[in-house]
Structure 1
Amino acid sequence: MTTTATASQPTCDAEQSEVLKPIEQYFLGHARDDAAPMRLAFLPTAHIESMRDGVFTSWPLDVYCERFKGTPAADEADRRRTVDWIDIGGLSAAAKITLVHGPVTFTDYFVLLKTADGWKIANKAFHGRPS
């Protein structure tokens, strides 16, 4: 399954469409460099985690959102964001996302939970590599 924040959605069932909603907010947050859509996409307790130069990093959502300043990247029109796959198991789901952001390609893995407010990203683990 491949989708972007601006392209039409692929054919998928109703639950997959619901799982895509926070992912679309995440894509929008990146596109606009805006923390507001990120806060809609993630649970407030979410952590964003990675290994950087052999060092484990774990940011709470508030720290992650500080990175967004409201100034889209100069190369935003050339950036690509795709959903590689979604796997749903009851009230939990996982998704693999690829983001091609200029010289770096990121692979994001999301754990999502279905809450009273709909699907939310509970945690994100990611890896960046040269494009």
Structure 2
Amino acid sequence: MKKFSFIISILFVSISSNAQSDASTIRDIETVCNYYLIGGTNGDSIMYSKAFAPDGQMRFVRNDTLFNVSLKDFMARMKNSGIKQNRTTKIENIQVFGTAATAKLTIEYPTFFYHDIMGLLKTKDGWKIVSKIFYREDKTK
């Protein structure tokens, strides 16, 4: 019976340790996503740029044409204006696979939504967005 209790205790500690690690990882990824979301909302390019690996890529389709923009160029468009944008943001979903993760983000403006799907990797500098794809959805009137 003591041996059984010991095994159960070891399993419980192992499961608890994994759950804490997973919760910590999710928090770290949420922090990175919030650098992007809050930095963008508040016109804070310094916060915004913390989210990205500069050698990453952003891809999107406009008028049936596929575009590819480096995240370095994308970040350069963000000016440190300090002007708050009229939008709300939400982290919809995060999935983690070891050192790789995806995050589904929604940014709502008065007349449209951006749906962002971010690819993240855990680097020596922590989690970074290495890829972004998005879709702009106009609101119906």
Is TM (by shorter chain) over 0.5? yes
User: Normalized per residue, which structure has more strand?
Assistant: 1
Aligned twin of 1:33: 43
Counterpart CA distance in 1 for 2:130 and 2:78 is 19
Map of 2:90 onto structure 1: 82
Following superposition, the deviation at residue 49 of structure 1 comes to: 1.3
Moved more, 29-38 or 48-57: 29-38
Superposition deviation, residue 46 in structure 1:
1.1
SS of 2:121's partner is: strand
Does the CA-based 8 Å contact 1:91-1:114 persist in structure 2?
Answer: yes
Instruction: Report the Cα offset of residue 53 of structure 1.
Output: 1.3
TM-score, normalised by the number of residues in structure 1: 0.81
Question: CA offset at residue 118 of structure 1?
Answer: 0.8
2:67 counterpart of 1:65: no
Q: Which residue of 2 aligns with 1:98?
A: 106
- Please list every run of 5 or more consecutive structure 2 residues that lacks an aligned counterpart in the other structure: 1-21
Q: C-alpha separation between the residues in 1 aligned to 2:42 and 2:80? A: 6
- Shift of residue 44, structure 1, vs aligned partner: 1.3
SS in 2 for 1:18: helix
How far apart, in 1, do the equivalents of 2:125 and 2:54 lie? 12
Runs of 4+ displaced beyond 6 Å:
none
Could you tell me which residue of structure 1 aligns to residue 13 of structure 2? none
Partner SS state of residue 68, structure 1: coil
Larger-gyration structure (1/2) = 2
8 Å CA contact 2:46, 2:80 repeated in 1: no
CA distance in 2, matches of 1:32, 1:46: 23
Report the number of matched residues. 117
Larger relative CO (CA 8 A, sep 6+): 1 or 2?
A: 1
Deviations 1:84-129 (A, max 9, x none): 1000010000111111022120100011001111111110000001
* AA of the residue aligned to 2:89: R
